[in-house]
């Protein structure tokens, strides 16, 4: 039996930023699996489906449930906020398939969604409108030395930067720590910003300088943006020129 599991990016919070493809696929499923907060957003829309959630840190179990349900012949989708392949479940699904279900002939298909770097950038104007890096400050799954090396590389090569997971209860000082690592390369007045709760109730948008950013209090639902050396503030928005306009 061949069956296909869809790994679906829902975009940020509100359903209106989901793609038509993502919604079409969810409509056809029997079972939708995900982290509870994201399932709650869908349950009202799709009342007849089976919804299964596992808590955070139970990601491997969540993936295995997908395969078990698909082996029962069910049409299964696993959902992620934002994009499924940007700090999402896509890679783990492939790994779990290889380890436990290699003979199953179950196919995996990733359905892309709008990740927070993109939706947050749109709220702030156009901070990523040239070469950029996306870096997660969470050292739960990545050694801090590696994160530090990437922060230095990104800042010293003048990338615009989006930071995911800039803080959490246990890591409340991580954004400050990251800024201190980058301040050798980034002037204090560099335009920066952040967006909390993108696409959900209580969206909060802030434009500030790099110096101010260091002292800002952000949470795990915040995406932080650091401009490159050309980034300007226009109309209270962050604007990183692409270069079209340099001769005018």
Site for a second copy, residues 72 to 111, rule: CB under 8 A: 83-88, 90-92, 94-99, 108, 110-111
HSE at residue 53, side-chain half, CA atoms within 13 A, is: 12
Q: Does 193 bind a second copy (CB under 8 A)?
A: no
Q: For a second copy, which residue of 133, 179, 195, 224 counts as binding (CB under 8 A)?
A: 133
CB 120, min distance to a second copy, A:
9
Residue 39 burial by CB count (10 A; 0-12/13-18/19+): exposed, middle or buried? middle
Q: What is the DSSP letter of 143?
A: -
Label the pairing between strands 204-209 and 191-196: antiparallel
Q: For a second copy, which residue of 13, 112, 166, 191 counts as binding (CB under 8 A)?
A: 112
- For a second copy, the binding residues in 194-223 under the rule CB under 8 A are none
CB 98, min distance to a second copy, A:
5
Q: For a second copy, which residue of 5, 26, 70, 132 counts as binding (CB under 8 A)?
A: 132
The count of residues interacting with a second copy (CB under 8 A) is: 77
Q: Does 122 bind a second copy (CB under 8 A)?
A: yes
Tokens of 10: 């829902």
d(CA 80, CA 90): 9
Angstrom distances, CA of residue 26 to CA of 34, 48, 50, 81, 84: 12, 12, 11, 14, 14
CB 149, min distance to a second copy, A:
5
Report the residue number, 81 or 240, with the smaller CB distance to a second copy.
240
Report the residue number, 206 or 211, with the smaller CB distance to a second copy.
206
Q: For a second copy, which residue of 36, 43, 50, 142 counts as binding (CB under 8 A)?
A: 142
- For a second copy, the binding residues in 54-73 under the rule CB under 8 A are 59-60
CB 79 within 8 A of CB 10: yes
Q: Does 246 bind a second copy (CB under 8 A)?
A: yes
CB 93, min distance to a second copy, A:
8
Q: Is the CA virtual torsion 157, 161, 166, 172 positive or negative?
A: positive
d(CA 51, CA 34): 8
Q: Does 45 bind a second copy (CB under 8 A)?
A: no
Q: Does 184 bind a second copy (CB under 8 A)?
A: no
- For a second copy, the binding residues in 3-32 under the rule CB under 8 A are 9, 11, 15-21, 23-24
Q: Does 181 bind a second copy (CB under 8 A)?
A: no
Nearest to 38 by CA among 69, 5, 62, 74: 62
Q: Does 145 bind a second copy (CB under 8 A)?
A: no
CB 60 within 8 A of CB 104: no
Q: What are phi and psi of 85, to 5 degrees?
A: -105, 0
């Amino acid at each position: 039996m061949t069956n296909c599991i869809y790994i679906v990016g829902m975009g940020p919070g509100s359903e209106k930023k989901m793609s038509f493809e993502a919604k079409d696929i969810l409509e056809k499923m029997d079972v939708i699996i995900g982290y509870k907060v994201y399932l709650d957003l869908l349950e009202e829309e799709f009342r007849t489906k089976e919804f299964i959630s596992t808590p955070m840190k139970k990601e491997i179990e969540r993936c295995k449930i997908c395969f078990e349900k698909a082996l029962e012949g069910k049409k299964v989708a696993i959902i992620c906020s934002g994009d499924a392949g940007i700090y999402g479940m896509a890679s783990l699904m492939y790994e779990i398939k290889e380890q436990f279900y290699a003979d199953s002939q179950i196919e995996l298909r990733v359905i892309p969604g709008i990740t927070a770097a993109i939706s947050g950038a749109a709220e702030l104007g156009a901070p990523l409108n040239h070469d950029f890096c996306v870096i997660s400050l969470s050292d739960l799954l990545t050694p801090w030395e590696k994160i530090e090396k990437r922060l230095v590389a990104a800042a010293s090569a003048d990338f615009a930067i989006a930071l995911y997971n800039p803080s959490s209860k246990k890591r409340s000082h991580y954004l400050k720590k990251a800024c201190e690592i980058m301040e050798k390369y980034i002037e204090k007045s560099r335009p920066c910003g952040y967006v909390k709760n993108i696409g959900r109730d209580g969206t909060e948008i802030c434009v500030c300088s790099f110096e101010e950013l260091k002292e800002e209090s952000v949470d795990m639902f915040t995406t932080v943006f650091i401009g490159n050396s050309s980034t300007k503030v226009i109309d209270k928005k962050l604007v990183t020129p692409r270069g079209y306009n340099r001769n005018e």
